[in-house]
Amino acid sequence: MIPTHKNTHPPCAEQRISRYDWSALSAELDEQGCAVLQRLLSVEECQSIAGMYPQETLFRSHVRMARHGFGKGEYRYFQYPLPGLVSALRTALYPRLAQVANHWNVRMALPTRYPDSHATYLEMCHRAGQLRPTPLLLQYRAGDYNCLHQDLYGDLAFPLQVAILLSDPQEDFTGGEFVLTEQRPRMQSRVEVVPLQRGDAVAFAVHQRPVQGTRGSYRVNLRHGVSRVRSGMRHTLGIIFHDAQ
Ligand SMILES: O=C(O)CCC(=O)C(=O)O
Ligand SMILES: [Fe+2]
């Protein structure tokens, strides 16, 4: 029998990241502070990652949001070594976002420049005492929500992060929209609701970004959160690029 050379392996993270139009995504990040990478993960990959939630040995800590006033719902931070796909996505996404981050810092007149490789950036975090991994898995049930926040865990903070919706908004849950707010100096705040399908990733600014004004760039302060889940269950994978103190 003639073997069929159909490649049934999922593409490696670097390959799938390189398929996106990064000049369009970078322009969207510059203009809006967020951009969606449609269908970054397959349905099977989403189910497999969401299915890790009860496997306690994969995680370093478990946070019940209501106890801290963060909202309602729960999340777990992964432990090193991260699951293969989570680690590969973190490594492959970083250099694309580092270019955007460096461009932003030029525009905001901030001196920090980010290295090209995530391994080098993690070494910087580790030298600064930020050793604990930050990728996390979130789980929301009906009535749960995530208050507006910024994921800062020490002096070093990479200015962009990624969240991947692992549940199907048509089948698994209703409500539970990803939202971003942008606080502008001496102006009213702007809100953005980001529509996501299962497997979509949203890249967004962690805490500040430049906005082009009539007389140069000014800085805005961002927060993100999730509106109340009306029914069902919603899982998200969060990829944060700095490690935590
Ligand atoms: O559940 C979400 O969509 C948001 C998760 C979140 O806050 C994060 O990934 O940092
Ligand atoms: Fe967050």
Rounded distance between C-alpha atoms, residue 121 and residue 88, angstroms? 15
Residue 215: band (very low, low, confident or very high) from pLDDT cuts 50, 70, 90: confident
**Domains of the chain by range and CATH?**
15-239 (2.60.120.620)
In percent, how much of the chain has pLDDT > 70?
A: 97
Q: What is the pLDDT of residue 11?
A: 79
Torsion of CA 117, 119, 124, 127, to 10 degrees: -170
Backbone dihedral angles phi then psi of residue 100, each to the nearest 5 degrees: -65, -45
- Closest protein CA for atom 3 of ligand 1: 178
From the CA of 178, give the closest atom in ligand 1: 3
Give me the pLDDT at residue 10, please.
77
| Residues comprising the chain, all counted | 245
> Ligand 1 centre and the CA of 140: distance in Å?
11
pLDDT at residue 3, rounded to an integer: 43
How many angstroms separate the first and last alpha carbons of the chain?
A: 57
Give the tokens for residue 31: 């203009």
User: Taking all residues of the chain, what is their mean pLDDT, rounded to a whole number?
Assistant: 95
* CA 35 – CA 31 distance, rounded (Å): 9
Closest CA to 178 of 241, 235, 95, 113: 235
> How far is residue 222 from each of residues 33, 101, 162, 190, measured CA to CA in Å?
9, 15, 14, 9
Mean pLDDT of 163-183: 98
ipTM over 0.90: yes
Q: What is the pLDDT of residue 2?
A: 42
How many CB atoms sit inside 10 A of residue 53's CB? 19
**DSSP 8-state symbol, 71:** E
The pair of three-digit structure tokens given for residue 44, joined into one six-digit string? 């099977």
Among the residues of the chain, which ranges form H helices?
13-18, 22-32, 43-50, 65-68, 84-107, 118-127
Name the amino acid, one letter, at 105.
Answer: N
Q: What tens digit of pLDDT does each residue of 111-160 get?
A: 999 999 999 999 999 999 999 999 999 999 999 999 999 999 999 999 99
On whether the CB atoms of residues 180 and 217 are closer than 8 A, the answer is no
**Distance from residue 238's CA to the centre of ligand 1 (Å):** 6
